[in-house]
Amino acid sequence: MDHEKLAQRLRTLHAINVTPFREDRVVDYDLLERNIEFLVANGLGVIVPYGNTGEFYALSVEEAQAVTRFVVERVDGRTAVLAGIGYDLGTAREMALAAQKADADAVMVHQPVHPYLMTEGLIRYYTGIARSVEIGVVLYVRHEAIDREVLSRVADIENVLAIKYAINDLPHFADLVQCVEASVVWVCGTAEMWAPFFFAAGAEGFTSGLVNIAPELSLTMLDGLRRGDSEAVRTVWRHVAPIEKLRAKNHNGNNVSVIKEGMNLAGLPAGLVREPLGELDEADRQELIQILRSWGKFA
């Protein structure tokens, strides 16, 4: 397992694909295949099945494992596959081992769902997962309890390759990048709206759900960030700001529903969301139509 080469591949745009559901809320594998092929055809270097845009917490462990196998088979080495895992330590280990058996390139450890988090417990949690597999491990950080001490100690593990940071506290993020001595890839976990600011503080990649609708915008931003073309970055930022603000409505409850409805409207069928998510109300749907129309994605 060449961790150095894999880490280099993670310095890019991470596409968080959707998990399409039929009317009966069963996973629609035909639509999932279309989604994956769309992302691969558009040159996405990393695909993340059942990240938060993929409704990780709405899937059973068995469904998540089946989705991993399906995505890895369909990708067939054309891009890196970073499979979401999580829940309790035993379940996370089981999911990590299943992802490794399915030939995923790495796993992304979702934010622990336990309401109470402590430093030593977090270190044992992440260490237990990382040492159960040989493939790469990425930490997904969404809580301040996962602090410098936790990250410094866990990042020293050989196969912990990246930290996806999703707390929009840029001074703190910049401090972590400077203080965590291990060589890990820092990834902005809050997509295009925050990627330019995170890159200025040390990020080398960012995640995106928008790529399921308009990968050209996300890839143009990535290229601009790499080249230091601030005008190109600002142009994309202005284009994506309205849809990202719409996703943030209802305490971020619109996040996945906007992406799926946007795909459906743009002729890239994504099916339905699964509870506890719901469909957009008509006002939000009309706002989304106007955004897509301005992008030439809706007639």
225-276 per-position pLDDT tens digit:
999 999 999 999 999 999 999 999 999 999 999 999 999 999 999 999 999 9
What sign for the dihedral angle of Cα 14, 219, 2, 79? positive
Residue ranges of E strands in 4-157: 13-15, 46-47, 80-85, 106-109, 136-141
pLDDT-derived band at 163, boundaries 50, 70, 90 = very high
d(CA 227, CA 45) in angstroms, rounded, equals 18
Q: Give the three-state DSSP class for 156.
A: coil
CA distances from 94 to 55, 91, 128, 159, 165 (A): 19, 5, 11, 17, 24
140 has catalytic annotation: yes
Q: What is the pLDDT of residue 108?
A: 98
Q: What angle do CA 35, 168, 130 make, to 5 degrees?
A: 65
Using one digit for the tens of pLDDT, what is the confidence trace for 113-137? Answer: 899 999 999 999 999 999 999 999 9
Closest CA to 83 of 248, 63, 121, 193: 63
Q: What is the pLDDT of residue 53?
A: 97
297 has catalytic annotation: no
Closest CA to 191 of 83, 48, 28: 48
Residue 274 contacts residue 23 (beta carbons within 8 Å): no
Using one digit for the tens of pLDDT, what is the confidence trace for 166-211? Answer: 999 999 999 999 999 889 999 999 999 999 999 999 999 999 999 9
d(CA 161, CA 61) in angstroms, rounded, equals 24
Q: Which domains, and CATH codes, for the chain?
A: 3-227 (3.20.20.70)
If one counts every other C-beta atom within 10 angstroms of the C-beta of residue 196, the result is 19
Q: Catalytic: which of 50, 125, 164, 260? A: 164
Using one digit for the tens of pLDDT, what is the confidence trace for 78-116? Answer: 999 999 999 999 999 999 999 999 999 999 999 998 999
Q: What is the pLDDT of residue 242?
A: 97
Q: Catalytic: which of 50, 125, 126, 140? A: 140
Closest CA to 152 of 181, 126, 178, 118: 181
This prediction's pTM: 0.95
